[in-house]
Amino acid sequence: MAKTASLKPILCAPLLRKVDAKLIELLRSLEPAEWDLQTVSPAWKVRDVAAHLLDTALRKLSLVRDSWFVEHIEIRSPQDLVALVNRLNREGVAVYRRLSPPVLIEMMEMACRESADFHESLDPFAPAAFSVSWAGEEQSLNWFDTARELTERWHHQQQIRLATNRPGIMTAELYYPVLDCFLRGLPHRYRDVEAAEGTLVVVEISGECGGEWFLVKSPQRWELVREWSAPAACRVTIPQEIAWRVFTKGIDRAAAMAQARIEGDRELGERVLEMTAIVG
């Protein structure tokens, strides 16, 4: 049994501009009534998701680019972080959902442009201002934080597209990096799972935008590798149509289990379907 190198960094900063260009095009196409359609996020309608996307882009620019902090908050536990993120999200949505579509879209264009400029200016291998907590990191590099940003921009836009019955943005160029980023959370999800050294879990996202990810138990921890030559203890196959919803609380677990396929050790494989790659 010989493993290859760990997964490569996800260098996707230029994709933010492409995903956001599709967002602006999408928002401009919406009819007035469509702004109040319910999304798969129970608390949010389309206008709320759009407000959230505007709020988080402006918030990131203010906090990270401009180092502008208006309150001091101590984060002492993962629960503290979740509570903070949920509060900031609620506050931002409460403000920006009141904007008219023309005003929101104009502000969104500015925020998206400046956000893309900012992420493209970063050294991808320098320390990021915020860690990717759902992957268990206390310090992340900019490339991972930018990839996390891509997952946020992509999956929230997809929520709007799903709610308004618009075509998705499931292209290999835009969706594969999102999946790749989500699945970087697997080692943290499996951190407490006991298994023999060399135990392999294969996760396949089926469809032209997907691929295979190999999670292996090393002597010290679980880790993702590019491939593994030994037989898998289990293989989990998730259709690409629901994969983004599985990892963002966008589908009921029972419904996800009904559409996914687990071969081999079922208990080991079910943990993949329990992973969440968002905060809050």
pLDDT over 90 (residue 78): no
Cα 267 to Cα 44, 67, 276, distances in angstroms: 33, 45, 17
* pLDDT, tens digit (0-9, with 9 covering 90-100), for 142-176: 999 999 999 999 999 999 999 999 999 999 999 99
Say if CB 248 and CB 277 are below 8 A apart. yes
d(CA 26, CA 149): 19
Please report the pLDDT score of residue 5 as a whole number.
60
- Give the H or E element holding residue 144: helix 142-163
Please report the pLDDT score of residue 83 as a whole number.
86
Eight-state DSSP code of residue 219: S
- Which tokens sit at 190? 């499996």
Indicate the residue type of 280. G
Please report the pLDDT score of residue 74 as a whole number.
76
Distance from chain centroid for Cα 267? 24
* Mean pLDDT in residue range 187-202: 96
pLDDT over 80 (residue 96): yes
Residue 184 buriedness (CB in 10 A; 0-12 / 13-18 / 19+): buried
Q: How many residues does the chain have?
A: 280
Pick the more confident residue, 118 or 82.
118
Give the lowest-confidence range in 4-8, 23-27, 119-123, 218-222: 4-8
* pLDDT, tens digit (0-9, with 9 covering 90-100), for 216-266: 999 999 999 988 888 999 999 999 999 999 999 999 999 999 999 999 999
Q: Which CATH architecture has domain 13-169?
A: Up-down Bundle (1.20)
d(CA 201, CA 269): 7
Please report the pLDDT score of residue 42 as a whole number.
93
Please report the pLDDT score of residue 1 as a whole number.
41
pLDDT over 90 (residue 4): no
Under CATH, to which class is 185-273 assigned?
alpha beta
Q: How confident is the model at residue 3 (pLDDT cuts 50, 70, 90)?
A: very low
* Mean pLDDT in residue range 74-84: 81
> How many Cβ atoms from other residues are within 10 Å of residue 192's Cβ?
8
Phi, psi of 5 (to 5 degrees): -65, 165
Is the Cα torsion angle 170, 172, 178, 182 positive or negative in sign? positive
Please report the pLDDT score of residue 2 as a whole number.
43
* pLDDT, tens digit (0-9, with 9 covering 90-100), for 22-60: 999 999 999 999 999 999 999 999 999 999 999 999 999
Residue 8 buriedness (CB in 10 A; 0-12 / 13-18 / 19+): exposed
Residue 68 buriedness (CB in 10 A; 0-12 / 13-18 / 19+): exposed
Q: Does 13-169 match 185-273 in CATH topology?
A: no
Please report the pLDDT score of residue 85 as a whole number.
87
- Domain ranges for the chain: 13-169, 185-273
Round the CA-based radius of gyration of the chain to a whole number and report it. 19
Q: Does the model's pTM come out above 0.85?
A: yes
